[in-house]
Structure formats: C-alpha cells, structure tokens
Chain A
C-alpha cells in the first residue's frame, strides 16, 4: 500500500515536473515549434502539385505566397521543403523537385552537372541586421572594417577606441565582445561574409566568403539557426551577431546602423535594402552580389535569394503553371513579401526577370 502511494506520488511529481519544463520551453521557443508545423498538401486529380526545396530564408515568403496565390488558383498546389540552399541545389540537380531556392548563386561547377540549362531568378531580397547585447541597449554605429576586426579577434572589448570613435556620446563598457556566427552553413552567413570580404582586405585574405567559412580560431561561438543566434545574443552580455532583419525585429534585439559606401550610417529596413538593390549591378544571368552597394540610402549588408528552374520543362502543364506562379511572385507577390520584412524587387529588375521567364520552353 505504502509502495503504491509513493509510486503514485513520485509519478505525479515527475509528470508535473515534466509538464512545467515543457511549458517553460514551449513559451520560450514557440516560434521554433510553430515553424515546424508542416503544410499538408492535398491534391485532387485535377490539381497540379509543384514541388520545391531549398533556402530557409525564403520559406516565410513562399508560405505566404502559396496561401494567397492558392485562393485564386485552385488548380495548383505547392509543397516547399525548407531544407537549406545546398539541399535545394542538390535536389534540383537530381530533378527530384520542380524548383529550387538558394541564398547563394549557383556556382559554375554545380551548373555543369545539371542535365539542362538552369535559370536563376532573384525572388526576394533581405537585409542582415547586426544585433548585440549591451547594458542599456544603446543605439550603435558600426562600419565594415570594425566588424571584420571583431570577427577576426583583433577587437575584443566594447570600449575599444575603434568602436568608441564611431559612437561619440555613447558610453561603452569594458566588456568582452562575444562574436556569434551560424554554426551551420547559411545564406545569411554568405551575405555577411560577402560584405566583410568586400570592405576588409584582411578578411578577404584570411577568411573569405561562403555559406560556411573557416571562422578564425578561438573567436566566438557557433549557434544553430537564426533563432539560436538571436537566443544566445539575448543570453550573453557583450554578444554580437548577425541575422535576418525579421528575426531581430521579432525578438526585439537592438541592431546597429552600418556605414555604407557613401559614408552614411543606415539602418536595415525593406526600404534601405530596396535602395541597395536598385543600385546593384545585375548581369544577365542574375548572379550578382549587392553588398556595399553605392547610393546614399543603401543598406550595405543585404542580398537576394534565387529561385532555380530548368529552362526546358519536361511537363508542359506543370511548367506553365510554375512559370505563371513565378511571374506573379516577382510582380504582385512582392507587395505581400514586403510585409514580412523582405525588400521588394525594383520595377526594372522585375521587368528583366519577366523577360527571362519568356525563354522557358515546355
């Protein structure tokens, strides 16, 4: 009898302990959990199912577009797996998806393995915010050279003369800087390191740019996912990190104004990223970089994300529907994505992309 009662008590205690733990965790990481909810795609015979895979950066935009586009087009259904840009490129090459999405342009080496010509269309553009955790949440100004030196391990405290010189009137503490980066490969890392490579010869020589790079040894930490970086910045006093603007806004983490190529300090926002996009030099294959773009109002740490499709589509019905959707996303869809902190594509870019889409063969 005694034994049973104790077992019940112990069990009850354990269950309530676990529940409390689960609730606490759920409250803190609700965004992650809801993000994992999958889109259930149901198809009737008359519907065409279009499969895509790739960038996690694009995922919120695609989800919203599929929802809005689906209201007027009941004949088409979408399924997008946000498995990362590398996965998106790989699945497109293996022809297991109808379109891929990537935060870094596809390299020649990868394109040469493709069974047909691949078109790369910028579909969204976004800014990368430099977030930090400092007592009193001062508004900071930073430039590319200082950022590069922080991540190279040359600037190690917040009251370093280089940082105080950029921020007259702000009292900065003698606190160690903890630079955070994405542990896994990421399009955001590509944009950030692309910017540092563009402005700092030392960075370009020692580290370079890429979705994953060789971070200088003994400097800072790798955190998993944008939410991981945002979470650890909030946790560690003195931390600095980079992440999509949407994450910074959502988590209410302060972010810095960054000096652009005209010498102005600009805050990341859809408008300042659009300004950079309008100034960027875009070649005919649309593989371009828009970091450190010219223009007085351009935010310098920003990049596009591309949709990848084959120029020759195997299935005429599916191909037509895919192109129709992309045309819509590039034009009307931009108004919707800008509500999610993505920068809208400028008109000139939209027109050039629509022209490229007319070359698709079915």
Chain B
C-alpha cells in the first residue's frame, strides 16, 4: 500500500537527524549501547536463574516421576504420588475463558476511546479503567466470593444450562455452588481487561493520523477506516497487549484460589470446581511436609514457567503466520 510506505518514509526522515547527532560522540554511544545491552540481558539471566532454581528444587520429583508427572491426574500426598495434568489444564482453560471474555471488551473499549468517544468523556473513562487495574487481586477475590459466585449459582449457570446445555462445557451439575472454573475465568477476565485496554489504547493512539486520513480520502467508511487503517496497522501491537494480559492470567494466584473451588481435578464442565498451577502451589505450599511433595510443588512452578514460555512462542508463531503481510512495511 502506497500510504503505508509514505508513512514509513516520513518516519525514517524524522529519525535521520537524531542518528547524526548520536554519531557525533561514538564513545558515549558505545557506552550507552553496552549499558542497555546489559540491562536487557539481565532479564534473560533472571529467567535463567529462576528456571535453574525451580529445576533444582524439583530434582526429586523429576527423578521419581519423569514425564508421567505431566500426564498424570493423580495428586495423592498420602501415597506420595503427584501429577500435574489437572493443573496444566486448569491454567490453560481458565486463561482461555479470560481471553474470550476480555479481548473483545478490551479492544472495543480501546477503539472507542481513541477513535469514537467525545473528547470530554475520554479522560474519565481512562481513569476508571486504570482504577480497575489498581484493585488488588485479593479484593477482587472477596468480591468474587461474596457477590459474583452466588450470582453465578442462582442466575448465570441456570441460564447457560438452559440455552447452551447441549455443549459439554455448559453441562453437568453445579455442585460447587458457583465456585468453578468459569468463576475463575470471569475473575481473570476482570483482572486483565484494564491491562489489555490500556496498552491497546496506547497502541491505537500511536497509529499515525495519516493512516486514517488516507483511508478516509479513499472513501472508506468509519468502520472500514477503523478495521483496515487502524486495527490492521496496529495488529502486532494489539497482539502484544493480549499476550501481556494472558501472562497475568496464567500466573494469577489469589483471586483464582478464592473462587475456583480448589479441587485437583479437571472436568470438561466449566461449572465444576478445578484448580490452576499457580493456585495449587499457593494453597499447598505451607503444609508440604514430605520432601517429594515439596519437590512436586517446585516442579509445578517449573511447568508453569514452561507453559508460559510455550504459550508465548506459539503466540509469536501464530502472529507470523496470520498477521505477516500487514506488518512488513514497518521493517
């Protein structure tokens, strides 16, 4: 698209004087480069250290269970047998529910805030969203227990069962009285909405005005401008915002523990109680008396780190496959 290329050319032109100035003092430039490199590497070192410590702590469990740990659903401290499968599934499913709910809401909110909302409304709305981000997870958890869970039990679950009960995920008894995988997913969605919204808004704001003007000039409608010129341009950044939200959802502990029902099981029905890697580590850690038990909890931490990395890598691959063409002009 010529419009994009023009924009990129304009961006490059704006960068040029800055580069010239920096080139004037090669020593300072070099030092700065090294400094930032060290800072960037420190993140890798940190992750490596955490990974190493987790692996060291889980040696006992790894030697005892090998890969069975990842595919076994047995969690039995009485017989010192441990398996991570229900928690891996719980982590992935609760985060997926959170994304399904949060992504459309967040991106729609961000689009409204940057493209459509009257100027006087933007600031108050942004402030509300940022307030939501500032609520500690334990408070959300209390709210979840006191308000949301009973409501799920009396209203949402019967409604879902009535209309969508033919789907296995909305089938089965609500024996946890609202404490369930779905409750955890909803709480997680509430927690990640402000993160995804805030970052998406910044990304949409950074879409050059020229993009929109060019699209309007070509006779595009408001919807087409937003869809093609704005969202298409910002695809990669929005994807990054979603991944950050997902990271938060995968690791959230407190609020999930309070509403998920804490059962070391995985059932297809979202009405059933379950647990996630993070919530299970948090609840079990204090009374892990046997060494193998303790080690198995460390291995859950290692698995969580692995799941997070894997999800990120998969997301990047997904982005390369599907969002490839539209991001090329940026290079």
Contacts and interface: CB of A to CB of B under 8 A. Distances in A.
Interface of A: 2-3, 6-7, 9-11, 14, 18, 21-22, 25, 28-29, 83-87, 89-90, 104, 107, 109-110, 176, 178, 183-187, 207-215, 217-224, 228, 231-232, 235-236, 239
A221 B286 contact: no
Max chain A Cβ within 10 angstroms of own Cβ: one of B121, B261, B285, B289: B289
Given A217-B265, A222-B283, A212 B131 contact: no
A222 B261 contact: yes
Given A185-B77, A218-B175, 18 more contacts: A6-B121, A10-B124, A10-B127, A14-B127, A85-B287, A89-B289, A107-B290, A176-B175, A184-B284, A208-B78, A210-B77, A214-B79, A215-B264, A217-B265, A228-B258, A232-B145, A235-B150, A239-B177
B128 A178 contact: no
Interface in B277-306: 282-291, 293-294
Contacts of A109: 290-291
6 closest pairs, A vs B, by CB? A185-B287, A84-B286, A222-B262, A183-B262, A10-B124, A214-B76
A240 B121 CA distance: 50
Given A86-B287, A109-B290, A217-B265, A6 B120 contact: yes
A110 B290 CA distance: 7
A224 B283 contact: yes
Contacts of A86: 285-289, 294
Contacts of B145: 231-232, 235
Nearest to B261: A221
Nearest to A11: B127
Given A10-B128, A221-B179, A215 B263 contact: yes
Contacts, number: 140
23 contacts: A2-B120, A6-B120, A84-B287, A86-B288, A89-B289, A107-B290, A109-B291, A178-B175, A184-B283, A184-B284, A185-B77, A185-B289, A211-B287, A213-B78, A214-B74, A214-B76, A214-B77, A218-B265, A221-B176, A221-B179, A221-B262, A222-B263, A224-B257
B289 A107 contact: yes
B173 to A, nearest CB: 9
A104 B262 CA distance: 22
Contact of B123 (A3, A186, A219): A3
A104 B273 CA distance: 28
B238 to A, nearest CB: 26
B75 to A, nearest CB: 6
Interface residues of B, number: 49
Contact of B263 (A2, A18, A217): A217
A213 B77 CA distance: 6
A235 B154 CA distance: 13
B78 A7 contact: no
B112 interface: no
B168 to A, nearest CB: 15
Contact of A7 (B123, B135, B284, B285): B123
Max chain A Cβ within 10 angstroms of own Cβ: one of B128, B273, B283, B286: B286
A209 B179 CA distance: 25
A7 B143 CA distance: 26
A321 B145 CA distance: 45
